[in-house]
Structure 1
Amino acid sequence: MPSNLTEETITEVVQRTFDASTNDRFREVFVSLVQHLHDFARDVRLTGDEWFTAMDFIERLGKISSPTRQEVVLLSDILGLSMLLDTMNESPGGSATDSALLGPFYVEGRPTVDNGADISNGVAGTPMFVTGRVVNEQGKPIAGAHVDTWHSDGEGFYDVQMTEPLHNEFAMRALLTTDDGGRFWYRSITPRYYPVPTDGPCGEIMRAANRSIMRPQHVHFWFHAQGYHSLITQLFLKDDPYIGRDAVFADQTSLQADFVHHGPGTAPDGTLVDEPFVTLDWTFTLAADTGQ
Structure 2
Amino acid sequence: MTDYFTETGSAETVNARISPDADARLAAVMASLVRHLHAFVKDVTLTEAEWETAIAFLTRTGQMCSDTRQEFILLSDVLGVSMLVDAVNNRKPAGSTPSTVFGPFHVDGVPERKMGANISLDGVGEPCLFRGRVVDLEGRPIAGATVDVWSDNADGFYDVQQPDTQPQHNNRGIFVTGADGRYWFTGIKPVSYPIPDDGPVGEMLGHLGRHPWRPAHMHFLVSAPGYDRLITHTFVAGDDYLASDAVFGVKAPLIVDFARTDAGPEAGPETPLWQADYDFVLPPA
**TM-score range with shorter-chain normalisation?**
over 0.9
What's 1:171 paired with?
170
Distance 2:29 2:21 in 1: 12
Q: Deviations over 1:188-245 (max 9, x none)?
A: 1221001111110111121111123211110010111111111111100111111111
**In structure 1, what residue type is equivalent to 2:45?**
R
What's 2:68 paired with?
68
| Structure 1, gaps ≥5 residues long | none
**Which piece of structure 1 moves more, 12-21 or 198-207?**
12-21
Contact 1:101–1:233 (8 Å) recurs in 2: yes
**Which piece of structure 1 moves more, 158-167 or 39-48?**
158-167
**In structure 1, what residue type is equivalent to 2:146?**
H
Contact 2:131–2:183 (8 Å) recurs in 1: yes
The answer to whether 1:188 aligns with 2:184 is: no
> Counterparts in 2 of 1:242-257, with a 5 A limit?
242-257=241-256
**In structure 1, what residue type is equivalent to 2:93?**
G
What's 2:227 paired with?
228
Q: Secondary structure at the match of 1:105?
A: coil
Q: Secondary structure at the match of 1:93?
A: coil
Pair 1:189–1:267, CA change in 2 (3 A)? farther
Distance 1:84 1:110 in 2: 29
Contact 2:146–2:176 (8 Å) recurs in 1: yes
Distance 1:266 1:282 in 2: 15
What's 1:279 paired with?
275
Aligned CA-pair RMSD: 1.7
Contact 2:186–2:267 (8 Å) recurs in 1: no
Pair 1:3–1:31, CA change in 2 (3 A)? closer
Q: Using the TM superposition, give the Cα deviation of residue 132 of structure 1 relative to its aligned residue in structure 2, in angstroms.
A: 2.1
What's 1:206 paired with?
205
Q: Using the TM superposition, give the Cα deviation of residue 166 of structure 1 relative to its aligned residue in structure 2, in angstroms.
A: 2.7
Distance 2:269 2:112 in 1: 25
Q: Using the TM superposition, give the Cα deviation of residue 270 of structure 1 relative to its aligned residue in structure 2, in angstroms.
A: 4.8
Distance 1:204 1:96 in 2: 37
Distance 2:263 2:13 in 1: 71
**Which piece of structure 1 moves more, 74-83 or 265-274?**
265-274
What's 2:236 paired with?
237
What's 1:110 paired with?
110
Distance 1:72 1:153 in 2: 25
Pair 1:35–1:87, CA change in 2 (3 A)? same
**Which piece of structure 1 moves more, 107-116 or 133-142?**
107-116
Q: Deviations over 1:260-285 (max 9, x none)?
A: 123xx5445253436x6111110110
| Structure 2, gaps ≥5 residues long | none
The answer to whether 1:100 aligns with 2:100 is: yes
Contact 2:185–2:267 (8 Å) recurs in 1: no
Structure 2 length-normalised TM = 0.95
Structure 1 length-normalised TM = 0.92
Q: Using the TM superposition, give the Cα deviation of residue 32 of structure 1 relative to its aligned residue in structure 2, in angstroms.
A: 0.5
